[in-house]
Amino acid sequence: MKDGKSHPITLESAKVKFLEDMVQQHGLPDISKAVRCLIDFARANPNKQADIFAEFRCHDC
């Protein structure tokens, strides 16, 4: 990682499970890579950012 910094985040169990599933399905090394993939996708696709971030979703409520 070029200038990587560690940032702890708090996630509900279902979100961790989702990331673990994505790690397994896509042969990723760990959850942090899955999160980086999501961020990279959002950065590379500014036209999708509103779809990702503008609508409030709470699947755990």
Q: How confident is the model at residue 55 (pLDDT cuts 50, 70, 90)?
A: confident
What pLDDT sits at residue 40? Answer: 97
Of 30 and 52, more confident: 30
5-44 pLDDT per residue, tens: 999 999 999 999 999 999 999 999 999 999 999 999 999 9
CA distances from 39 to 33, 44, 61 (A): 10, 9, 24
**What pLDDT score was predicted for residue 6?**
92
Contact 14, 20 (CB under 8 A): no
Put simply, whether the predicted model's pTM sits higher than 0.85 gets the answer: no
